[in-house]
Structure 1
Amino acid sequence: MKSESPPELQDLPPEMPTLIARLAWGGGTLVTLLVPLIFFVVGYQSEVARLESALQVGLYSNAKQPRTHAGKARETLHSPPAVLAALNWLPGHTSIRLTDDRQQLLAGKNATPRWPQLTRSATLNLGAEHPGQLAVSRSIRPLLLYSLLMSLPGLILGIITFITLRDLPMRVFRRTLQEITIRKVTEEKLAKSLSIFSATLESTADGIFVTDVYGREVVANKRFRDMWHLHQSDSLYANNNETLAELSNKLRDPTAFAATIKDLSKHIDVNQGSTLELRDGRHFEWNSQPQFVNGRVVGRVTSFRDVSDRKQAEALLAIENEVLEMVVCGQPLQAALGVLANHVEVLSGEMFCTILFRKDNEGAELECVSGRSLPSNVVDGIVHHGQAVLDQVFDAITQLENAPKHGLADEYSGVIEDIGAHPIWADYCSLMASHGVHACFAVAVRSTDGHLLGLIVAHYRHPSKQQPHDRELMWVAAHLVRIAIERRQAEERLQVLAHYDTLTRLPNRALFHDRLNQALARLERNKGLVALMFIDLDRFKTINDTLGHDLGDQLLREVSARLLMCVREMDTVARLGGDEFTIILEQINKAEDAASVAGKIIEVFAAPFRLGHQETFVTPSIGITIYPADSDNSSHLIKYADTAMYRAKEDGGNGYRFFTTEMNTLATDRLEMESGLRRALERGEFVVYYQPKLDLASNSITGAEALLRWKHPRRGLICPDEFIPILEETGLIEQVGSWVLKTVCSQIRAWQDSPGLPPLVIAVNLSGRQLQRSNLATAISDILEETGVEPRFLELEVTESILMHDPQCAVDVLMQIRNKGILHIDVDDFGTGYSSLSYLKQFPIDCLKLDKSFVDGLPHDEDDIAISQAVIAMAHSLRLTVIAEGVEREEQLAFLRDNGCDIIQGYIISPPVPAQTFAQLVLERAQQHSTTLP
């Protein structure tokens, strides 16, 4: 890419280009004119010379002999013909004329040339003293024409001259200006660099010292002289290396410094990071590098940096690491703070350090730690006689709302200056003065949330010997004390959090397992039994969701308090999480003792729990297992107690159950069944059976209820009553329910494509989880569309209890399903729930199914008769169809027919059968019906 010169190098004075252009124009014009002019002049002179030559030839041509007169010189006579003959060599366009004195033409040759012409004449001697004149003429018109033609090369030369005179000076001027500008810019950059160098040299925090090859000072910044407390040198070079000598005198070990300087003067080695210790205790880090010019060493550049603060910080960091390591490793807090006090005294040199602190904010006894420099009698006086005084000081400072307004220094927040002038310190200062030690200032140790944790007090034999850095040292020590105390407090809190429940303050799961193992270990040495009780609260989730989590937490705390009332001090009550509690009963003599405690718990829980302004009742479900009768393994005991608790909950709650072997078998079977169900769908173990529905009016099969069956690979066909509840609890019912819907719709489509089968309406049961899905209607519509089945051939059944769980939600979902074209929606198990007629008329339903429990007693049980007749009458009044399920005997069928029941299903027609068997049954029933028609 072509580089561009700076703008200042491209600009000339505005009048300069115009002047140069004018000069170039004049020069070009002059050259253009001079070329033809010079050609004309040279040609003209040539013509003149030629004519002059012709005249000379004519004059000296002799036609006759000369004659001589007496007393006169001999003269030549010219004959005109001879003259003409002599000039015969002239070209034809040259005119020759001979005339006499009267201008009469004597002889001539060629015509007179055209104007303009060039003529030369000379006098001739024609004899008899009659003079004549010879005239030679030539036209200069060709010369003018040639001169005019020479204007073209003159113009070319003029243009070349114009361009040359215009560009060459401009280039010269530009180059000159460029060099001037570059030099100016270079000088400015040099001046700027010198200014930056000077400013950098003076602004740096390091002391810079430049020497020549002989060790003489060349330049040094002000920081260097201030660091070393040197006077300003007047000369450029100090004589006899006086600056280096002055530096050596200020060092604690000048010999090593001199040796290093001598070594550096011999070699060009770089000295990096060496540390010098001054006599006043400061530490300087110095670096030295050679200065090169054209590859030759011309001197050295040395820098010094004050690292005294860093050295002190490193020492404090080492102290911090040591103290915190002691705290982390679990050493006593007093030992760690004692080490800190010792190091503080060593770094100070004059101070006696005392650290006063409390381990927690609960009013624990005040403790005192001091360094080894403080006399032992002083420490004894503080510990044995000053406790009350220190408590008074602590209490007074704690009551101050804003400590910085009460004598705290501005530089270090928390430093209390001149404590002897404060009334709250008067007794303490008097106590220390009695031992010959003066308390001068103190530092308040405060926690991160502002609580006063302790005090660090600085004592001196002579208050005037306080060091300037002692306050900073004490301030840093106060931070270390805070970290150490808060770390120890945090460890203690972590111990509590790790082993106790934060809500109830009961032992948590980890501590429960530990105490259970300890109880079993103790039982191996002593006779007796250990009972483990697993307690779960009935209806706690409902209470928690209804009243809120805050009142739920309050309830758990009240439950914990009541459980503690029912056990001995040696027993353990623990909370495992949520509403699950455990109790370890140690050293009981018989299982009845555990039953007695369980009964007491149930009795205590019978009283209402008052939560705020509301009373509520909570009952426990308790599972009990006995060691070593049930198991000698703690994990098995917990499992067995949990299994027994679930049995108590299944039996209605508010009771207790002891673990039995049968419970373990049932629990194992349930776990095995749950595991099998999770893989049954993908293995294709589910099948759908169909139980026919008989229309009593037409005496024909109009449809069926689809019932799910599980073909277990080992146990065979399993009844839905065994695995449907497990599907509900595990959430698998949603996947299985979707599979059933799709399978049934595909089967309906297959039956519709088969010849001979009448239109059939197949009912599918919906679970509670499916009904809670917001997209249930869309999912059903997608399955119908996918399988190609019209919605009028699908019937959905929902149990009464599911509808009444959340009636409004059920109404919304069923209305969405109705809007998708589903015409048949049934209420299954009607009469077993607690439905409200107001809700019943809101549900978009078409049919009520009379539960089997009411059909079983027909036609002999008066209650079943009354309920059945009432349901049928109510359904018909609401224009609903009535289906009676579980019909097994002829007398039941006759009663239902006589009382207006519309449809029946049950073993009297057929048990649930596979799809192929059901299709055959429909065909057979249709054939029988056709033969009975008249």
Structure 2
Amino acid sequence: MTETSKRSAPPVESPIVSPSPLDGPAKQSAPHRGAYRHKAHQPGAPGVINAHFGAGTIFAELSIIYISNPITVHFRPIRQNHSGATPSPLNHSRVLDTLVKNLEGMAYRCLHDADWTMVFVSDGCQELSGYASSEILGKTGVSWEEITHPQDRGRVRACIEDAIGSGQRFAVQYRIVCKSGQVKWVIERGVAIRDELDESVIEGFIEDISVRRTTLEALEAAEQRYRNIFEHASEGIFQSTRDGHYLAANPALAKLYGYDNAQALMTDLADIERRLYVQPNRREEFLTLIEKNGAILNFESEVYRRDGSRIWISENAHVVFGPQGEFICYEGTVQDISERKRTEAHLQLMAMVFSNSNEAIIVTDASNRIIATNPAFTCLTGYQPDDVIGKNPRILSAGTTPTEVFSDMWTCLHREGAWQGELWDRKKNGEAYPKWLSISLVRDEDGQIRNHIGSFIDISELKATQERIRHLAHHDTLTNLANRFSLHEKLAQALAFCKRNRMQLALMLIDLDRFKTINDTLGHQAGDELLVQVAKRLSHAVRESDIVARLGGDEFVIALPGIGSPADAAHLADDITREISAPYLIKGQELRTSPSIGICVYPGDGSEIGDLLKNADVAMYHAKANGRGNYQFFTEDMNIATTERMCLESDLRLAITRREFLLHYQPQLDLRSGTIVGVEALIRWQHPTRGLVSPADFIPIAEESGMIAAIGDWVLEEACRQLKVWQNRGITHLRMSINLSAGQFLDKTLPARIHELLAANDLSADRLDLEVTESMSMASPDESISVMKTLSSSGLTLSIDDFGTGYSSLAYLKLLPIHTLKIDRSFVKDIESDPNDADICDVTVLLAHKLGLEVVAEGVETEAQLKFLLSIGCEKVQGYLISKPLPADQAERFIRNNPPMKGLGTIDLWPAQEQLTPIEEHCHA
């Protein structure tokens, strides 16, 4: 090249800024346009393009600085043409011109002045702005700043000035207003350089990006829409890897799993398989299905939330593949179906209830046509579903339910939505039965009736049970007589009848004599059988219009409405006494009892039920007091005695707390040694105003009122205390005999209580002898044996008191772990004059000795009695001949002041006892 050509040609590797007009592109340049465009669109990569000009080929290297599209092209020849010559400046210029012309956009050079005066623009100017190059070049042309949109001019200038000031390239997007008025978006890229005259110029390239920007804005809008969907979707959305890591998750998924945000979810839940699924194998099933099918639908699993609670989810997912078919991720949605699962479970439960309910269930439609029944319906009615589907439930009716019931049912059903009641239906086999029906309405969202649901049960047995209950409520379960409740009802009706008709009514209260003895001796079963037979005899003895009832225990009531006079009641009382006193055969034994009957008459003895019953009771007690087996009419004097008895009972309740009881001790003499070897503790009541009250007066009251248990416990405690006092004073050989009541004897706490008292008083068990009556021991033999064995095994001695007065079974007697038999005073009393009593005492001693037992005779009062007992081998005696029961201090003096007797064979007794007081005579009797 010449120096001139060097100056006029662009420097090697300088931007294409040739200001020379060129003839036009080479004929063969067009085929290469796509090639250099393709190379130009590979960012920052130099490309080698073969361009054909004229008869030769020029090889050049284009260095393209690319930001979205080429903006600056550096050209450098890299090889000579086929002739071997370096391209001429002209050819060089033509190549540059061809390249510039084929670029999409406008290349330019402008001055760095106030107007950005253009000194070169490429032909792309026309296509870009609508202005020809000539209209823009020079200071007289339209300045590019004028073409720039007014709203963008300041921003564009500031951007370019900042870049120039920092020596950096610039790129700025802005709008231009075309000659046609059309607004386009362009991107301008450029750089400030020094030209050959060392002046500051700007070279650059402006490209139309309107379509691209529109597309980009559309893409951004679409992306934003999808982002909004992702962020605000109600379902969880995720992307995850095969190995169980989340790549993306939306807020809904985070909330579903209990996290505050998606990032927290992805950070914390790093192992889906192990930490998410309640059953880890569900993840394996998920992977198997999605890998096999490429997608998975409605995959249900139970998963853990962050707080450890469980929910059910449904997943829909698919595999995302890359352009080359490579795996990218799993992508899908997650929905919480816990409520649906609960609903399904509830529906399943309801279906099970429907199918397995013991109640028959029918469902009808809005027209009251049966649409469903359950198995219990078929079981109860005999109808198969096909027999009734589509029919009205009235086909089940027996036709006996009043129409008013159905009318009330439908009224209540439509008003309240439900009804319950009793109806009569008929089974398929024709059997009528009562049923209890519960029916409900089911309404739709609009409040219209959709279904009726009825459930019912056969209440035949229930009604029979109710009838039995009603009968039981009015009748005694043992005798089937009217009970106390029914008696009051019937008496009220009978009294009202007698009042209206000015008639009399007799009321009898009957109590069986010695029933307790029979019950205790032969057991409750025998006692119950006796009561049943007595009830039958009473029922046969009265008229149909009379009332017979059992009050309880062995007490019965007969009411005789409309009697002519009290004599009618007396005649019936005689008949009843005769009937009831006749023997009974029970458990192979002939038993006898008798009635004590109290009678009062309305209106003379009272006008109210309570008064009549009370007065009849008073009269009955007087009948018992008069020897039993008789009847007594009520008199006012009887009330006085009853009042006295009630006062005594009231005082008795206070006697323990007031410490009014005391014990007297009756010595027992050993006939073999002549010494006092024991005492029997006998209770006395020192009343503050009545003085010494006989046990015969207060013990029956204590037994009837339930106070005997407390009194018996006091006797045990006081006897042990006194025995301890004597022991401390040197009297260590005495054995204390204590009588037990029936309730005390069978109390399961008795052994523990006795051991407690022995321990508290430092006494050995053999110092106590417990006495039980023959009747008590035989009342429940097996239980008695068990109790006695427990007591005996602890070292206590046991005695049968009043032997011979009860109904002992020798088979049981030999099994009782007892030590002593006590002959009752009633046999000792007449042994001098009655051979039978003497024989009984003799046989008793013989029997006791054969069983290895000792014998104590009670009530010994004469020397003759003592001689006889000594002659038959009786070991011990007690009675007034030896000593009356004494207070503790006197008993102690008696024991100390009476050494062993000598010459019992000649009855060398102690000095005679002092004369008995009247109360002592009573106690003795």
The verdict on a shared fold, with TM-score over 0.5 as the criterion, is no
The structure with more helix, counted as a fraction of residues: 1
TM-score calculated relative to the size of structure 1: 0.45
* TM-score (structure 2 length as normaliser): 0.45
